[in-house]
Amino acid sequence: MTESTIKYDRDSEGIVTLTLDDPNQSANTMNEAFLASYADVVEKLKKDVEEGGVKGAILTSAKKSFFAGGDLRDLLHSSRENMAEAATASNELKKNMRTLETLGIPVVSAINGAALGGGLELALATHHRIVLDGPGVVLGLPEVTLGLLPGAGGVTRTVRMLGVEAALQNVLLQGNQLRPAKAVEVGIADELVDSADDLIPAARRWIESVAGDAEAAKQPWDRDGYRLPGGAPSNPKLASKLPVLPAFLRKTTKGAPYEAPIAIMSAAVEGAHVDFEAASVIESRYFAELSTGQVAKNMIRAFFFDLQAANALGKKLSGGKQEKVSKVTVLGAGMMGAAIAYVCAKSGAEVVLKDISLENAQRGKGYSEKLVAKANKRAGEDADVVARNQALLDRIHPTEDPADTRDSEVVIEAVFEDPKVKAQVFAEIDEYIKPDALLCSNTSTLPITLLAEKMSRPRDFIGMHFFSPVDKMPLVELIKGEQTSDETLQRALAVVSQIKKTPIVVNDARGFFTSRVIGTFTSEGMAMVHEGISPAVVEHASTQAGYPAPVLALMDELTLTLPRKIRDETFAAKKAEGAIPEDAPLPDPILDEMIDVHDRKGRSTGAGFYEYDADGKRVGLWKGLADAFGGDKEIPFEDVKERMLFIEAVETVRCIDEGVLETARDANVGSILGIGYPGWTGGVVRYMDQYPGGLPGFVARADELADKYGERFRPPASLREKAANGGTYEEVN
């Protein structure tokens, strides 16, 4: 007999405590053992209530978290053939949840830790929710971020608690993880306590306070006279807003094939037209459709399993024994260096922000001051937050004096992309920093092995590539040079973990992985414009493919002179290596025409592929593009989208072949978090695995694109071999 995952205790006062405590896991999850246990305890509670003497019930947890939600591994193995089974399983759980909330006794949730997804849905099926206002406690329904919808009553109950519009915007469509006070403000929690020891006493007090009140033992929607907050869909006030919701979704997804937001909106609106039971069935049907589909599987693998493994990498390789870094030097107080200083100081480290002049360094600290000012404004009069932010600023020390770097344990260089300049700034501080200090370069393209030649300790040198804006972008790409030691990699991973970033680890090559692959995306977008394809079509195709920024808009943000400089350096290096013929023409000729002929260098100069107003805001594509490059050539819209998706995938295969990438996980996480590869794909190599027809289907389509648009799309031999042998890139993890 399976051991129960829920403890059932009834005290002398008639209060039953249901304690979630899976004996076989560190966290409670919605696995088979839980489903059986939940059905059993609900049935037992029902019998006890019928026999009399039960005053109320408390649902709580013995784990650090309240409840971790569903077991996502089960969903990865489902298929369209399992849709009816998935809907039935969802309905069975919800039947027991419905029984619990209609027993006629007050049931309260005492939430001691994170209650996300299924955990919050369990709590929503009680009449009152008391939450510990402590670190790490968050509530929410984040299923949309995994390509799913809340299938255990989350849509049905939040709509009835908050109304259609508020439920969609505040809880369901964004998948927000809310801190306790915000959860109360939104309406998914009712009461806060400051100590875990106060949870159960508070729950008991609430039960005692509503004793004899039959209405307190009912959900709002089960009470006489209930009306849907904000009105039903037939209400003119709400009906006038409903047509706006699809437009809101289109603005959010930009036409990319994200299925979950549409399903959530549909389940919410359709469910609001009918009674609770019918709405639950509607919700289950949409859940079954999403959970057995490919997009959800892609997103679950990428945003849960791959991301979890990447974030655990530092602890795994270092054994979790790395001490926290206390002093960091950041060389260069430009945009990147200033932002790196902020995240390091936020992690608790003292940060020396060094530049060639004190004025420059102080200006760099101004970046942190602006971020702190915004955070203080959001916090209002919260003195603790203001104090923490001031302490953060106090940890950043702008300077021009190399001696101020004394005893630094980590150095992160973020100066101009010139090997001589980088070597010079490291040499300036070499005598002051700790003799075993970790040496890192934030270069985005220059080979780490090349830069290491000028380092006094090449074994301690590693690439630490951040992404802009550093305070928001979660990824750091660590690049191992030929002499980088294993210990150096472990220490670098520990630093990335300390500043709460997600790492990927790659081997050295010009452009590494992220810069090299995103370069093919931007080149392909520009190439299509140069061919005479409408720039508007190219922009729409890139957004509808799922890229977060249109390709030409991204080029303008980079400033066209920077990609040209990288192109020229890479081209010269490849010629010197004999990788390309001496008479090979420069790629991306559109860059030279835009810069040299039309004097349009990007947003920073007020003129690029787009036009800008006096405040630097995009006002539309440059009207001269059509005259400069044409714009009336037509190719299938699907080809425009897939030329960008495929060119990055094919280049990724080359990165795997050359040993730049060692795992599919690094490719998938790096492509989504670092260079904006569409999240619905699950990452750049998973896109190939899940393409219709699998890898053989991808190879066939790549050959078709190569025949139509150029040999750059031709699949490498390794990809052909893997496809022919029935392999996948999933096995490269």
**Three-class SS state of 441:** strand
Neighbours of 68 (CB within 10 A): 24
Decide if 100 contacts 94 (C-beta within 8 A).
no
Decide if 143 contacts 150 (C-beta within 8 A).
yes
According to DSSP, the residues that pair with 412 across neighbouring strands are 330, 440
What stretch of H or E contains 636? none
For helices 260-272 and 154-162, the axis angle rounded to 10 degrees is 60
**Three-class SS state of 166:** helix
Decide if 355 contacts 333 (C-beta within 8 A).
yes
Rounded CA Rg of the chain: 28
Q: DSSP 3-state helix, strand, coil percentages of the chain (rounded to 5)? A: 55, 10, 35
Torsion from C-alpha of 636, 639, 640, 645, nearest 10 degrees: 160
Q: Record the tokens describing residue 169, joined without a space.
A: 């915007």
Decide if 641 contacts 545 (C-beta within 8 A).
yes
Q: Which residues are catalytic?
A: 465
For residues 659 and 596, what is the distance between their CA atoms, to the nearest angstrom?
A: 37
Q: Record the tokens describing residue 441, joined without a space.
A: 């370069």
By DSSP bridging, strand 327-331 and strand 350-354 are: parallel
For residues 328 and 349, what is the distance between their CA atoms, to the nearest angstrom?
A: 7
Closest CA to 725 of 686, 699, 692, 687: 699
Decide if 280 contacts 88 (C-beta within 8 A).
no
What stretch of H or E contains 464? strand 461-466
Q: Where are the alpha helices (DSSP H) in 471-560?
A: 486-498, 514-531, 535-545, 551-558
**Three-class SS state of 195:** coil
Decide if 677 contacts 684 (C-beta within 8 A).
yes
For residues 288 and 120, what is the distance between their CA atoms, to the nearest angstrom?
A: 19
For residues 155 and 136, what is the distance between their CA atoms, to the nearest angstrom?
A: 24
What stretch of H or E contains 78? none
DSSP letters, 304-333, are IIIHHHHHTHHHHHHTT-PPPP-EEEEE--
Decide if 398 contacts 365 (C-beta within 8 A).
yes
Rounded to a whole number of angstroms, the distance between the first and last alpha carbons of the chain is 36
Q: Could you tell me how far CA 60 lies from the centroid of its own chain?
A: 29
Q: Where are the alpha helices (DSSP H) in 395-503?
A: 419-429, 448-452, 486-498
Total residues belonging to the chain: 733
Please report how many Cα atoms fall inside a 13 Å half-sphere around the Cα of residue 288, on the Cβ side.
18
Q: Record the tokens describing residue 590, joined without a space.
A: 């559109």
Q: Record the tokens describing residue 519, joined without a space.
A: 């370069």
User: Tokens 């594509």, residue?
Assistant: 621
**Three-class SS state of 383:** helix
Decide if 319 contacts 363 (C-beta within 8 A).
no
